[in-house]
Amino acid sequence: MQYFNQTDVKGLSKIYRLNLVNSITGYKSANMIGTRSKSGHENLAVFSSITHLGSDPALINFTMRPNTVPRDTYKNIKENGVFTVNHIKVDHIEDAHHTSAKYEEHISEFDQTGLNAEYKGDWQAPFVKGAPVQLGCRFLNEYLIKENGCVLIVAAIEHIYVRDEMIGEDGWVQLDKGNVVVVNGLDGYALPKLEERFEYARPKDIKQLNK
């Protein structure tokens, strides 16, 4: 088993360190965030940091890297206040990953990939057509992470679109029915499969265990 202490990690080459530290925490959600600027430029970017924050109210959060360079997703969210979160299905992974390329603001990632923008109602941000789960989210707050300059974004989920076959009678969404992928590190995509689903865990009866 290989071992790295903090000094070892600091001494690694940049790419090796990026790959190591980004992959050791395990599989992460793979999503695309869709935004549009006030001037009408669409942007689409892949994110692996989107997580559940609360159910009542329905909240999510995700992390933006330091704003030391232009961040179109951040700029557009601050301008319009809304964005979309789109789950990545297995046949979208190549195009989804390409959205991490650095294009100028006026160039839409939708135009550089096989992905298509889709607008629903009066929501002022593009969804990804064909995404099995689509969320319309509104910016609520941001928090500077002083330790590394990243920004934590907190948002409310205002619209939820889920394919019929993925959602159960109790509201649980089975993601593998939509071929939803996860990401390992920065660039490794995997297709998980449900093995088991358990009931809500409650403390065991100690008396019964001691018999």
Q: In what order do the strands lie in the sheet with 31-36?
A: 42-47, 31-36, 82-87, 133-144, 151-162, 58-64, 51-55
Q: Does pLDDT of 48 surpass 70?
A: yes
Beta bridge partners of 85: 33, 135
Would the pLDDT of 60 be above 90? yes
Domains, the chain: 29-194 (2.30.110.10)
Residue 113 to residue 45: CA distance in whole angstroms: 12
- Provide mean pLDDT across the span 90-106: 95
pTM score over 0.75: yes
28-44 pLDDT, tens digit each: 999 999 999 999 999 99
Neighbours of 117 (CB within 10 A): 18
Q: Write down the pLDDT at residue 192.
A: 96
Over residues 13-32, the pLDDT tens digits come to 999 999 999 999 999 999 99
Residue 9 banded pLDDT, cuts 50, 70, 90: very high
**Is residue 210's pLDDT more than 80?**
no
* pLDDT level of residue 103 (50, 70, 90 thresholds): very high
